[in-house]
Amino acid sequence: MSRVELHRGYGHEVFRVWQTAGGPSPDRLIWPLFVVESPRAREPIPSMPGQFRWGVSRLREALDKPVAAGLRAVLLFGSLQGGKDPFGRKADADDAPVPRAIRALRTAYPDLVVIADVCLCSYTDHGHCGILTSEGHVDNDATVRRLAEVAVAYAAAGAHAVAPSDMMDNRVAAIRAALDAAGHRTTAILSYAAKFASCFYGPFRDAARSAPAFGDRRAYQLPPGGRELALRALERDVNEGADFVLVKPGLPYLDLVREAADRVPVPVLAYQVSGEYSMLLHAARAGAFELSTALHETLTAFHRAGARAVITYFAPQLVAEAAVRLAVRSEPGSHGGRRTPLNRLTTRRGRPLA
């Protein structure tokens, strides 16, 4: 019989929250962070106002307040300026930014869930998500072997979960086998199972310095209208050992979030991607709406569709607002007996305040 292992999907208290249905709460937010080689860097990202590329030595500057307010999970991306090659060798070098950041965060914040994105696009000199053939096409099998190596390195550094975002065929099975063989049986896999070829990734490619040098990624990312392909990809990745699956982008694909939640037997997450972040931020700054209200409405939509957690660049703002509301409700004279909507106020552990 094939081994079917469930423990890694609920071994951490945050993962246990994701295994249950519920509305927006700090436990269900994941903040994506870009880390660079220069340890003292704090580089503004022009296309994503308010977001930065961070050096490992300054990660506490980024995270102390959000973690104190209730942030429970981060997703790490590397962003290199130089040293790239056709095989993405810098992705898992011992002194590379992501392994260094994992080790630093596990030491500084023992209870914080650290997830590491697994892809090659930020590390290859051609900017594609895999190793290329001599004809310039992605070599799926060679790429999968390389991704498995990177995933093992991130697990060895201490990542609670690895998140393959490359969209190669059968990479979840290869990563699972490699993790198990290396003794990392408890490292979870969060698979970008339904990742669409989307224009909403533009600011991210600026932040991660990962734009393709030629061509595009439509041959391996899903076509926006590919509903059946997405459902097949979701089911395949679950069968290969994914502990969580992701739909990306988020708001334009809420129908797929709902279908995934109805169909697959693992928690479904959604990614409010860089283009969604910039769109909402610029619209709010132009006076189209109040940002906080819009964020809570979009989070409600994600959870209504079935998402168990949301990756969002607004996570620090959202956990800070939740902490303020909690403090207000705790003040003497507050109406502590009146129930408040989940999208307005939750405890740090995700339970509604009564």
Residue for token pair 């590390």:
123
What's the token pair of residue 253? 């694909």
Six-digit token pair at 197?
Answer: 């070829």
Helix/strand/coil percentages in the chain, nearest 5: 40, 15, 40
90 in active site: no
CB 260 within 8 A of CB 247: yes
Residues 102 and 116 sit within 8 Å (Cβ to Cβ): yes
Query: How would you label 246-263 residue by residue, b for 16+ Cβ within 10 Å and e otherwise?
Result: bbbbbbbbbebbbbbbee
On whether the CB atoms of residues 32 and 313 are closer than 8 A, the answer is yes
Token couple for 189: 């896999």
- Asked if the bond preceding 249 is cis, omega within 30° of 0, the reply is yes
Helix (H, G, I), strand (E, B) or coil at 45: coil
Tokens of 27: 């436990």
| CA distance linking residue 239 with residue 234, whole number of Å | 9
Query: Could you give phi then psi for residue 242, rounded to 5 degrees?
Result: -65, 135
Told to judge if 195 belongs to the known catalytic residues of this protein, a careful annotator would answer yes
| Total number of residues shown for the chain | 354
Please name the residues in contact with 256: beta carbons below 8 A apart, sequence gap of 6 or more: 194, 227, 230, 231, 247
- Spatial neighbors of 89 by CB under 8 A, at least 6 apart, are 123
Alpha-carbon distance 72 to 273, whole Å? 19
> What are 54's strand-pairing partners?
35, 42
**Contact in structure between 248 and 194 (CB atoms under 8 Å):** yes
Helices and strands (H, E) in the chain, number of each type = 11, 10
Beta bridge partners of 44: 52
Active-site residue numbers?
195, 248
